[in-house]
Amino acid sequence: MRYIKLSDLPRLVNLTELEEACKEIEKIVTEDERKKYIDNNYQKWTAIKEALWNLGNNKCWYSEVKLQRDQGHVEHFRPKKSVAGVKHCGYWWKAFDWHNYRYSHRTCNTRITDYLTGVLCGKGTYFPLKEPEKRATCKAEEALEEPVLLDPTVASDTRLICFDISSGKPIPYVTEDVNIWKNKRARLSIDYYHLDEGTWNVNRSDLIDDLNVLCDRLEESEGEVYDQLTNELYSRYLNDQAEFLSLSYQVLKERGLLEDLVA
């Protein structure tokens, strides 16, 4: 998971319609009418899908998997109409708030059964909290919430997941004995976002193997050959649109090459 600077979104797309919709839904009194307004106006957030895709360097903000322009979902970090597992009307005031949007692979956003484990995964409308009794019922109460799920638009959150270098599987960066809460957030986020999906684990493992081969060659080279291999490293693994970029940085760090290769 890489940090996404969501505050840059207004520079990429006109958000006037969404801002107006936020004002309109505030005027609606009943829950049914709010849900109807949301269902009838979903095009307002799908209209900015390409801008979100560009902001995330053409990748899912959670998994770092490469996506074609129309493949991803405009995911509501706080669910807009209901919250799975609890009796709640949903964060309807966030339905058209662009600060609440994340660009997601369907595997992260949709409740599906993992074909390898048989476990039901995907965020869906789940939004667990550290203290469920503090769940917000209006915008002003959001500050009282401590979300369990990691948020790619919060820089400190993105550092809580790393990878098992032997398998490519995502794991918590902080161990349970160091910080129980941070460890729990990472573990549950891996589950809810389905970050350990089987194909992705295999692809990450392959990336680790290939990157280690390139690192071996770098350590043995010098001069023009070293420069050529460094260029290959950046073009294949360290460009902003590369899949699993955070994993590539982790491999380089663990190999002791990060400081020399990344300015």
pLDDT on residue 263: 59
Within 106-197, where are the H helices? 106-109, 155-158, 180-192
pLDDT on residue 111: 87
pLDDT on residue 209: 96
pLDDT on residue 262: 72
What separation, in Å, do the N-terminal and C-terminal C-alpha atoms of the chain show? 21
pLDDT on residue 260: 76
pLDDT on residue 114: 79
Could you tell me the residue ranges of all domains in the chain? Answer: 6-196, 199-261
Q: What is the pTM of this model?
A: 0.93
Tens digit of pLDDT for each residue in 73-118? 999 999 999 999 999 999 999 999 999 999 999 999 998 887 777 7
Tens digit of pLDDT for each residue in 24-47? 999 999 999 999 999 999 999 999
Which stretches of the chain drop beneath a pLDDT of 70?
263
